[in-house]
Structure 1
């Protein structure tokens, strides 16, 4: 099994991409780069592997879309909610916050919206090529992932490691060591230095790891009550509690 991870940015130069080969109870990083993949290259990668984890919202809150459509139509039928939470938080964002205590950035009110616009274009290319994109992540070639939430879920540091300052690179070095202790089956190969040098590279590896867990059924299923909305808004895959220790037995 081969999985990929995409730490997606609106800027190609900041987009990290990793590929992991899973075999005999091991997960080996076989490719890792930052700034090398345009939209077409990302689609080619997604089509070539078994599952790809994308760190980016796959959709927008449905009430926000309805809000924009009503506004474009003149505003006569626009319903103003009592709070903006329904416009800024997807159902999966609320779920992730409740499960992990980590609140995802708002795709409709934060800068991550720019990356989501690029992601929408990538998904469009995939669908035009015949791929069946399932935004719930339960089937199809992609799954939405959120490394910060997964790290929190695993009891690992999930803040302070992004950036190029000495304190940030130091925390990233500590995080890499702790990840490898928590995942003795993960082999960074020749790419450990890349993870130490770049948080985009490290997050791409984590995206590929979560994609592999998803492919092996080691992520929590989408609640039945949320399936319909998740198909439109996207859904963040959270690893099951025992996912890390279950990897070797599931190979």
Structure 2
């Protein structure tokens, strides 16, 4: 099995992609690249069983409805103070599930800079669909939405403070070491240095591991009620087992 992980930025620059091959007793990072184009992602997806995209795959339904209503000048604020109404505009159902399960508050695709990457992913999903891939936003097809910080949290690893410069670079390198200790079956090989140098590269590896969790049934799926919304808004696939469960999957 081959899984692909993509840490998607708004442009090719800062977009990283990792390809991980899964063998019965180990996982090998076969490729890890930076500054990745949409065309490169689509091409690489042809060879992967599961593709983990670190980017919201949709927008909150109330937000979309409010924008449509505002376009014709008839927005109705349901709550007296507006606070709860604005929260429903800002966060998707899956964001609230992640918040409840991990305590991590995902970035708002409706009200934060991550929306720029979401604009890109909308076009990328269209390209993947045109190439014949199932892009079910619930994660049932080739593509699944992942959130590296939440995955790291679920796997008992540090998930805050490793992105950036200065002292954070040290924390990032320490996190790579911690991952290798927690998953001794993971072989970074020639890409070890790149993982330690670039948190974008590291996140793409985590995205590929998260994609594996989905592929072997070790990630949370939406229930029937949640699925109706998740098909539109997207669904973050939180891992449900330890890192070791990723290597205990169906025979390759």
On whether the aligned pair clears a TM of 0.5, the verdict is yes
- Structure 1 runs of 4+ aligned residues shifted over 3 Å read none
Contact 1:105 1:112 in 2 (8 A): yes
Counterpart of 1:145 in structure 2 is 146
Contact 1:60 1:107 in 2 (8 A): yes
Could you say what the CA RMSD is over the residues aligned between the two structures, in angstroms?
A: 1.2
Contact 2:99 2:106 in 1 (8 A): yes
Counterpart of 1:227 in structure 2 is 227
| Deviations 1:45-66 (CA, angstroms, capped at 9, x unpaired) | 2222111100000000000001
Offset at residue 224 of structure 1 (A)? 2.3
Counterpart of 1:75 in structure 2 is 73
SS of equivalent residue, structure 1 residue 169: helix
Contact 1:4 1:52 in 2 (8 A): yes
**Structure 2 residue aligned with 1:89, among 75, 91, 112?**
91
| Deviations 1:92-132 (CA, angstroms, capped at 9, x unpaired) | 00000000010100000000000000000000112223322
Contact 1:2 1:50 in 2 (8 A): yes
SS of equivalent residue, structure 1 residue 14: coil
* Worse overlay, 212-221 or 198-207: 212-221
The answer to whether residue 88 in structure 2 is matched with residue 113 in structure 1 is: no
Contact 1:6 1:208 in 2 (8 A): yes
Contact 2:53 2:146 in 1 (8 A): yes
Instruction: Supply the distance in 2 between the matched residues of 1:247 and 1:12 (Cα, whole angstroms).
Output: 29
The answer to whether residue 245 in structure 2 is matched with residue 246 in structure 1 is: yes
Counterpart of 1:192 in structure 2 is 192
SS of equivalent residue, structure 1 residue 12: coil
Counterpart of 2:137 in structure 1 is 135
Contact 2:154 2:242 in 1 (8 A): no
SS of equivalent residue, structure 1 residue 3: strand
Structure 1 unaligned runs (5+)?
Answer: none
Contact 2:212 2:246 in 1 (8 A): no
Normalising to structure 1: TM-score of the pair? 0.94
Offset at residue 208 of structure 1 (A)? 0.5
Counterpart of 2:41 in structure 1 is 42
| Deviations 1:138-183 (CA, angstroms, capped at 9, x unpaired) | x211100001011112221111111232x11110111011111111
SS of equivalent residue, structure 2 residue 27: strand
SS of equivalent residue, structure 1 residue 155: coil
Offset at residue 11 of structure 1 (A)? 2.0
Equivalenced residues, count: 245
**What does 1:8-87 correspond to in 2, within 5 Å?**
8-35=8-35, 37-72=36-71, 74-76=72-74, 78-82=75-79, 83=83, 84-87=86-89
Normalising to structure 2: TM-score of the pair? 0.94
* Worse overlay, 149-158 or 1-10: 149-158
Instruction: Supply the distance in 2 between the matched residues of 1:160 and 1:249 (Cα, whole angstroms).
Output: 30
Contact 2:220 2:239 in 1 (8 A): yes
Structure 2 unaligned runs (5+)?
Answer: none
